[in-house]
Amino acid sequence: QKEVEQNSGPLSVPEGAIASLNCTYSDRGSQSFFWYRQYSGKSPELIMSIYSNGDKEDGRFTAQLNKASQYVSLLIRDSQPSDSATYLCAVRTPTSGTYKYIFGTGTRLKVLA
Amino acid sequence: ETGVTQTPRHLVMGMTNKKSLKCEQHLGHNAMYWYKQSAKKPLELMFVYNFKEQTENNSVPSRFSPECPNSSHLFLHLHTLQPEDSALYLCASSQDQGQGYLHFGNGTRLTVT
């Protein structure tokens, strides 16, 4: 069973701090990695995508990928109360001649004002 | 309209009812998906259509029946559901099954009584 693992949280950080969200995946063949943000009662929206080892920065967000360790992380700098949400890690992995997007359970982030 | 639109937003149905969920995407994508989101569980992939062909049925019970008449529209027909089928049903689309990222609709909150 191909899996994506995340700590469900809640992860509580003070406003202005760095929030660090982690994700591991089981399938070494996974090729593409995504972080989605989901506010309560809303649908997931894409925050970052990353395809190669290393860091990718977009504003206050940095995604980090280490394929050897099968590990993806998301750093949120200068956390704001509006960042409070559930963050879903997703991987696109080849399977049976096609591809699947597999999601983790999500980490709930609470940014304290 | 842009993006992925789902109707209805909320649905309450009895176990003997028949209803349908509708999804429409205006992004020119070729792949469409149904996911089920239940509390404390990862997003569960139900069905995938790529270029109008069903490429994935993730062992979904036959009381759920998908229909994809064209690349822009996706339906989920529901009949004789069980209370445990109550969940948020999310439609998504992507450029095709191996490219792009998932764009989600706002979801249908289904309650089976």
10-residue stretch averages of pLDDT, chain B, 113 residues long? 89 93 96 93 92 89 95 96 96 91 96 95
Task: Output the pLDDT for position B56.
Answer: 86
Q: Do A46 and B41 touch (CB under 8 A)?
A: no
Nearest C-alpha neighbor of A33 from the set A73, A3, A2, A6: A73
Q: Are B71 and B83 in contact (CB under 8 A)?
A: no
Q: How confident is the model at residue A1 (pLDDT cuts 50, 70, 90)?
A: low
Residue corresponding to tokens 């956390």: A79
Give the SS3 label for residue B18: strand
pLDDT at B1: 55
Do B20 and B78 contact (CB within 8 A), yes or no?
yes
Return the structure tokens found at B40: 């404390």
CB nearest to B45's CB, from A49, A100, A106: A100
What pLDDT digit, counting tens, does each position of A66-107 carry?
A: 999 999 999 999 999 999 999 999 999 988 888 889 999 999
Does A46 sit within 8 Å of B42, measured CB to CB?
A: no
Q: Residue A65: what residue type? A: L
Please name the residues in contact with B100: beta carbons below 8 A apart, sequence gap of 6 or more: B29, B94
Minimal C-alpha gap between A42 and chain B (Å): 6
Alpha carbon separation from B66 to A55, B49, B69, B104 (Å, rounded): 39, 9, 10, 17
Query: Is residue A22 scored above 60 in pLDDT?
Result: yes
Of B42, B48, B107, the CB nearest to A43: B107
Q: Tokens representing A13?
A: 């950080």
B contact test, residue of A99, A102, A105, A107 with most B CBs within 10 A: A99
Tell me the pLDDT tens digit for each residue of A28-75.
999 899 999 999 989 999 999 999 999 999 999 999 999 999 999 999
Query: So what's the pLDDT on residue B93?
Result: 96
Question: Pick from B98, B104, B107: which is nearest to A99 by CB?
Answer: B98
Nearest residue of A to residue B6 by CA position? A43
Matching residue, tokens 């069973």 = A1
pLDDT at B46: 96
Cβ atoms B75, B20 nearer than 8 A: yes
Quick check: B98 and A44 CB within 8 A?
no
In three-state secondary structure terms, B111 is strand
